[in-house]
Structure 1
Amino acid sequence: MFNFKKTNSGRFINEMFCQLVGPDFVAEFWKAFKDTYITRDDIQFIKQTGSNTIRLPFHYKLFTDEDYMGLTANQDGFARVDSVVKWCREEGLYLILDMHDAPGGQTGDNIDDSYGYPWLFESEASQQLYRSIWRKIADYYKDEPVILGYEFLNEPIAPYFENMGKLNGKLETLYKIGVSAIREVDNNHIVLLGGAQWNGNFKPFKDSKFDDKLMYTCHRYGGESTSEAIRNFISFRDSVNLPMYMGEIGHNTNEWMAAFCRTMEENNIGWTFWPYKKMDGSSFVGITPPENWDSIIAFSESPRTTYKEIRDARIDQTTARKAMTDFIEACKFGNCVIQDRYVKALGLKVN
């Protein structure tokens, strides 16, 4: 997204921005970012490519009063999702709601904005919050046909932990907690269950019949682009006789993407890619770095473990604030670069 390397989670990025330009400016930056990053123009473009579904990631904090993206109360999660639902309805697109960052952290890495461990699996309070949020979302959208389904967790349980097997053994139970919450208010929508270890390990699943609207979801970013390379996904799908959906592909050559998309089509696996918009070429549309953005990147990479280090690394305020303001402008669809070859490699079209 921002081309930061070490500063690579939402919490780290927010803290770095606050160290650079102060919390008040950062709060305004996040509001403008949310207003700009995805708009009706983006949704219209996605539809024009021939796509039929959008996977919408969200942080659980959007549905709490926790400090997140410039707000410390009255988070605007429903208002933000409602806008995308409206635009998708107008364009005839489906929407998958993906809890990318769960209470306590489900992965234990930067992608879940956690503290480096999947505490969700060991924290009753986090599990109750996870359950409560999903119930609230399902109650709100229970009659919304634009919503294809609810994806409970993104890439649960990274492979770094000595007790990985024990954590894996808790995954299906945690999914059942989420399903039970949703079914209290919503019997209409599909629920999506991702495998452990980057959505790649489906061995933890022992019960595929606890709900009649289950779909499993896998991810893949590398390796061979052949059917044999995803034989484990295909075999699991066939063994449970339920759909398998490839929720993320990307960060690869256009040739690999084209070949792998053909493989998925041949094996009747629906897919979405990751991500839609960022600062390099592996996306539908690219953000052009604004002037002096390299100075922001340099600050993000600088040592900032002491107050002296923060002071020494901080760049001129006028330069920093202008670069951040210009980034918002660069995010607007009309200012982005359509990555034609990437889109076409996915078998989609560019007008």
Structure 2
Amino acid sequence: MVNSLRIFFASAAWASLAQAWLPNDGTKTITNRDGVNIFARDVPSSGDTKSPRYLPSFSKVRGVNLGSQFIVEPWMSGAAWSSMGCSGQDSEWDCVKALGQAKANEAFKGHWSSWITEQDFDNMASYGLNTVRIPVGFWIHEELVNDGEYYPQGGLEYLLKICDWAASKGIYVIIDQHGAPGVQAVNNPFAGRKTADTQFYTKDNYNRGVEFVSWLANLTHTRNEMRTVGTIGVLNEPKNWDSKGIRDVESTLKATNPLHVQFMSSFWGSGSPEQHLPSGYSDVSFEDHRYLKWDTSVAVDHAAYISNSCTSDRSADGESPSFVTEFSLSPPDDVQSSDSWAPDKQKDFYGDWFAAQVHGFEKSTSGWTFWSWKTDLGDYRWGYKDAVAAGVIPKDLGSLSSTVCG
């Protein structure tokens, strides 16, 4: 890859910016790299009027991803995908191309209005969750879509509505650029187009990616609905990195409470984002995706999974503050239906494994978001809502086993 493509959206001006915000409980604070409390933020209370607003106090991010809300992934939402008329299509791009723009827009609007509802946020809040991570594609900013690209239109209205629901329940919001211009990851529907031809790492597409997060930053600082959006994830699971964008917008707006900018940590394997940041940077966080399902270094065994989850240090690279923004309860494909891993027969194990992962993440990082809140799989190992209904995850996170890790 081109050597200049190094790390997203960093600038030398970061060192002089005021602290961003993340949750804390007033005693066990989540801080930036300089040890500064980064929870408080002034946000719009109405129109352009600014007044102090605070989320409920908490020391660790405990949350869920809103997977398949704005980037529908057929593998996890088959029934919804079929009801939209997209059956047999591999990704949003393929479905829009097959249905035609007008018909696809109507189908996707039906999905956006029903997959996640305000009741879901009531349930999240009642379960003790305090954060949602919202994966979005660059095409939600429709002016960035080029002729000959196939993406649904009209999603912004629903993103604003969902952010407003989150804010009304006191829930913190991370918005993640999951699908980038030209596609950043091979053969993954999470990028909006399942293709082996990744063209994000070209000048035009990269520049559109920068423009997208700049637009997101401006939206976050100027729309009341987004008053509890505090982090923008610059790119999900990239092959490479590069830099610039959000801070230019904040400088123009004279924002006194900058957003946190979140990078995939060096655990992901695309190199260290930190080494390319300017000296003295702040207002940055790092995300880790931890799926034992695909970690061949860990024995496929109940005891090994519990032990590894309890003891694995997900901040060993020194990048801080860090979060595990994706994990699940799914074991490898070749054992997931066997008696020793079957969800209906192994609820006690899966409950212990969830507790072990949460214990490990909260011991070594600033918190976690489970993948995902909801699925169509009929398998609670990928869906937090289903796991609660099955009794695998408690409705009260405070009642999680404190002895599973010894």
TM tier relative to shorter chain: 0.5 to 0.7
Q: 8 Å contact 1:59–1:99 — kept in the other structure? A: yes
Mapped to 2, the partners of 1:348 and 1:56 lie a distance apart of 25
Partner of residue 140, structure 2? 62
1:270 alignment partner, one of 354, 367, 371: 367
1:1-351 aligned at under 5 Å gives the runs: 1-3=76-78, 7-15=89-97, 18=99, 25-65=103-143, 66=145, 70-71=152-153, 75-77=154-156, 79-110=157-188, 111-114=190-193, 115-121=195-201, 123-142=202-221, 145-157=227-239, 168=240, 171=241, 174=242, 176-185=243-252, 186=255, 188-195=258-265, 199-200=268-269, 202-203=271-272, 205-209=274-278, 211-222=281-292, 223=298, 224-225=305-306, 226=308, 230-231=312-313, 233-237=314-318, 240=319, 242-252=320-330, 253-280=350-377, 281=379, 282-285=382-385, 339-344=389-394, 347=397
User: C-alpha deviations, 1:20-62, integer Å up to 9, x for none?
Assistant: xx76554322111111111211111111110000001111101
TM-score of the aligned structures, taking structure 2 as reference length: 0.59
- TM-score (normalizing by structure 1): 0.67
Give the structure with the higher percent helix: 1
Question: How big is the alpha-carbon RMSD for the aligned residues of Structure 1 and Structure 2?
Answer: 3.2
Matches of 1:43 and 1:80, distance apart in 2 = 14
**For residues 35 and 349 of structure 1, do their structure 2 counterparts lie closer, same or farther at Cα, with a shift above 3 Å needed?**
farther
Moved more, 132-141 or 339-348: 339-348
CA gap of 1:340–1:196, structure 2 versus 1, over 3 A, is same
Structure 1's unaligned 5+ residue stretches are 158-167, 287-336
Q: CA deviation at 1:84?
A: 1.6
2 CA distance for matches of 1:349 and 1:8? 40
Per the alignment, residue 50 of structure 2 pairs with none
Any conservation in 1 of the 2:92–2:152 contact (CA below 8 Å)?
no
Between the two structures, name the one with larger relative contact order (CA 8 Å, sep ≥ 6): 2
- Displacement of 1:348 in angstroms is 6.7
- Distance (Å, rounded) in 1 between the aligned partners of 2:152 and 2:277: 41
Residues 284, 338 of structure 1: 8 Å contact kept? yes
- Indicate if the aligned counterparts of 1:151 and 1:192 stay in contact, CA closer than 8 A: yes
Q: How many residues align?
A: 271
User: Identity rate of aligned residues, in percent?
Assistant: 19
- State how far apart, in whole Å, the 2-side matches of 1:251 and 1:8 are: 24
- Decide whether the 8 Å contact of 1:30 with 1:69 is kept in 2: no
- Whichever residue aligns with residue 261 of structure 2, its letter is V
SS, match of residue 230 in structure 2: strand
- Where 2:324 maps in the other structure, the secondary structure is strand
Deviations 1:295-331 (A, max 9, x none): xxxxxxxxxxxxxxxxxxxxxxxxxxxxxxxxxxxxx
- Contact 1:155 1:194 (C-alpha < 8 Å) held by counterparts: yes
Distance 1:249 1:202 in 2: 21
1:113–1:81 distance in 2 versus 1, CA, 3 Å: closer
Deviations 1:170-225 (A, max 9, x none): x1xx2x2244444444551111001368x355545413445310101110111445
Q: Structure 2 vs 1, CA of residues 11 and 68 (structure 1 numbering), >3 Å: closer, same or farther?
A: closer
Which amino acid in the other structure matches residue 275 of structure 2?
Answer: K
Q: Which runs of 5+ in 2 are unaligned?
A: 1-75, 82-86, 293-297, 299-304, 331-349, 401-406
Instruction: Quote the Cα distance in structure 2 between the aligned partners of 1:13 and 1:124.
Output: 27
Is the alpha carbon distance of 1:245 and 1:124 closer, same or farther for their aligned partners in structure 2, counting shifts above 3 Å? same
1-structure distance, mates of 2:311, 2:94: 35
Whether the 8 Å contact between 1:49 and 1:349 is mirrored in structure 2 is: no
In structure 2, what is the equivalent of residue 303 of structure 1?
none
Q: Structure 2: which amino acid aligns with 1:212? A: S
> Per the alignment, do residues 254 and 103 of structure 1 end up closer, same or farther by CA in structure 2, a change over 3 Å counting?
farther
